[in-house]
Structure 1
Amino acid sequence: MALTPEDVVKKEFSKPKGFGRNGYDEIQVDDFLDEIVVELRRLNAENDSLSDKLDDCRRSHGGDGDATMAGQSKTTAVPALTPVNNAAAPAAGGSSDEDKAEIARLKKELETSRTELDKARAPKANEAADAGQDAASADLTSARRDLQTAREEAKNAQAKLAEADARITQLENELKQAREAASATSTQPATSETNAGTDAAGVIALAQRLHDQHVRDGETERDRLIGEATAHRDKVVTEANTKSEKLLSSAKQRHDELLTTGQSTYDDLVKRGQSEHDDLVKKAQAKHDELVSSGQSQHDKLVRTGTEKSAALVAEAEQRRTSILSDLETRRTALQAEIERLKGFETDYRSNLKGYLNEQLRKLDEKQQTPDTKA
């Protein structure tokens, strides 16, 4: 798991066990320093990879200025960090909170720089251009919808024109029927010939007038509807084409502006990120050297102090050893005297016990012999 500045700041070491030992546990400090070394090497590798990718990106864009910056990027690559010697582990115990806070701040600044560089590489310009194109597409769709509405209105006008033609056809049929009726009346008897002729002529004249009037009205309405539909269609088509061309031109111009702005912003952020990266690397390397030097100095001081304390403890232990051996010798002499006394007591006790037992055995024998004699 990658180390974070909070891990370094919040890291705590336990005190070493044993009399006369100060600082922190050397094993824990060594393990934590090994983790820091692994993390620093990973960061160096990641920085090298980012520098290579940046050089590739600049080479793909071409230009003398980019080539110069790429050369500078290679020359300012992060120097390799030397592994931390475990012998200097006690120095970590003496590092102050200020050093830890400074390391955390440097790592935080490096992380911020990397974040800004990643944001700069995001295709924001393309997204904005796509948004402009989407808006233009929406406007073009609206224009097409208006054109479709105009076409529907023209279709309705044509339907009305068809109705007018049907009405004219109907009137023509009625006129034809009237003429047929008039010809039929011409075959009636001569007595009613005068009145029938008058009625037929009136009906024919009326039908002809109605036919001519309806034909004129139908043609006028047809011409009016066709003219209105054609004018509206031409107007809508012209407006849609004009609006579409205007929107496409605006979207293209906006796309070019956003692309230029995004490229310029990207280049500025890349330059700023590279500069901040180089500054942070220099500060981190200087801080690393300072911490290593301070740690080595504290390590030497602790070694000298430990050596002096060790010599004093050895002398004190030797003196205590002599005193304890003398005391043990005195106690051994007293114990040996007590052992000799106990041995004498044991000899006397054994002798008395043996005499007592012999006396009891003798009495027991006498008792056994006495009954036999009486018998």
Structure 2
Amino acid sequence: MALTPDDVVTKQFQHVRFKEGFDPDEVDDFLDEIVVEWRKSIAEADELRAKLAAYESGAEAPSAPVAVIEQAPAAPVAEVIEVGQGSTAPAAASAGIIELAQRLHDEHVAEGIAQRDKLIADAQAQAATIVSDAETKGREEIARLDKERSILENRITELRNFERDYRAQLRGYIEGKLRDLETTGTTSGSTPVSAIGL
């Protein structure tokens, strides 16, 4: 099936996600320019066919042939199309437009792949940096906690030793006082309670 200007006008493109694309209005304007030029070339080809048919039938002398139709100035590639080969000019124009569209498509796909690969590489580098930073901070935190644990264990040991020594001293003191009390009690066992002041 041949591509017509109406096919270009009614063509709907899929919206892409996660990557940049062309401005849809700019693409529509460019396609409108292509359609206008395409319709001109089809009209001129039809006119030339009619003149050729009239000339072949001998009804009319040929006028000056239309030699060149230039593509719209907004087109990225300025191509010159020879008209006068009958129905091959619209087909050549169609083939040129399709080739241009395919080339643009391939360029955009390649650009998208390159951008995707760059984003993936950047994300992987960023992830590696984040993991490395987290591991470094984790090691530093573990070292700090180990040092703090060691300090606390030393402090606990000191407190246990202090408690043990304090208990021993307290026991010695209490036992000494009990001995003193017993000694005092045996020597003053005949002293009445009222004389002691109790």
TM-score, with length taken from structure 2: 0.51
Q: Which structure has the larger Rg over C-alpha atoms? A: 1
The answer on whether the counterparts of 1:164 and 1:218 sit within 8 Å (CA) in structure 2 is yes
- Given candidates 255, 265, 269, the residue that maps to 2:144 is 265
1:257-306 residue CA offsets vs partner (Å, 9 max, x unmatched): 33333333333333332222122101111112212322343455567778
Relative to 1, partners in 2 of residues 1:315 and 1:217: Cα closer, same or farther, differing over 3 Å?
closer
Does residue 240 of the first structure (1) align with residue 106 of the second (2)? no
Does residue 220 of the first structure (1) align with residue 77 of the second (2)? yes
The answer on whether the counterparts of 1:157 and 1:225 sit within 8 Å (CA) in structure 2 is no
Deviation at 1:178, TM superposition (A): 3.8
Which has the higher relative contact order, 1 or 2, with Cα contacts under 8 A spaced 6 or more apart?
Answer: 1
1:281 — aligned with what? 160
Deviation at 1:247, TM superposition (A): 1.8
Relative to 1, partners in 2 of residues 1:272 and 1:314: Cα closer, same or farther, differing over 3 Å?
closer
1:38-80 residue CA offsets vs partner (Å, 9 max, x unmatched): xxxxxxxxxxxxxxxxxxxxxxxxxxxxxxxxxxxxxxxxxxx
Relative to 1, partners in 2 of residues 1:304 and 1:220: Cα closer, same or farther, differing over 3 Å?
farther
- Given candidates 149, 164, 189, the residue that maps to 2:30 is 164
The answer on whether the counterparts of 2:30 and 2:75 sit within 8 Å (CA) in structure 1 is yes
List alignment gaps of at least 5 residues for structure 1: 1-146, 317-375
1:173 — aligned with what? 39
User: CA separation in 1, counterparts of 2:190 and 2:38?
Assistant: 135
Q: RMSD of the TM alignment (CA)?
A: 4.6
User: CA separation in 1, counterparts of 2:156 and 2:76?
Assistant: 84
1:78 — aligned with what? none
1:293 — aligned with what? 172
The answer on whether the counterparts of 2:37 and 2:71 sit within 8 Å (CA) in structure 1 is no
Q: Secondary structure at the match of 1:293?
A: helix
User: CA separation in 1, counterparts of 2:45 and 2:176?
Assistant: 133
User: CA separation in 1, counterparts of 2:141 and 2:195?
Assistant: 76
Counterpart of 2:142, as a letter, is: Q
1:137-164 residue CA offsets vs partner (Å, 9 max, x unmatched): xxxxxxxxxx93xx1x32x268755653
Q: Which structure has greater helix proportion? A: 1
Counterpart of 1:176, as a letter, is: I
1:112 — aligned with what? none
2:134 — aligned with what? 255
2:8 — aligned with what? none
Relative to 1, partners in 2 of residues 1:315 and 1:291: Cα closer, same or farther, differing over 3 Å?
closer
User: CA separation in 2, counterparts of 1:230 and 1:268?
Assistant: 56
1:87-109 residue CA offsets vs partner (Å, 9 max, x unmatched): xxxxxxxxxxxxxxxxxxxxxxx
Counterpart of 1:220, as a letter, is: V
User: CA separation in 1, counterparts of 2:38 and 2:178?
Assistant: 123
2:191 — aligned with what? 311
User: CA separation in 2, counterparts of 1:178 and 1:314?
Assistant: 146
Relative to 1, partners in 2 of residues 1:313 and 1:162: Cα closer, same or farther, differing over 3 Å?
same
User: CA separation in 2, counterparts of 1:177 and 1:253?
Assistant: 68
TM-score, with length taken from structure 1: 0.31
Q: Matches of residues 23-38 of structure 1 in structure 2 within 5 Å?
A: none
Relative to 1, partners in 2 of residues 1:172 and 1:309: Cα closer, same or farther, differing over 3 Å?
same
Question: May I ask how many residue pairs the two structures share in their alignment?
Answer: 153
**Percentage of matched positions with identical amino acids:** 12
Q: Secondary structure at the match of 1:218?
A: coil
1:331 — aligned with what? none
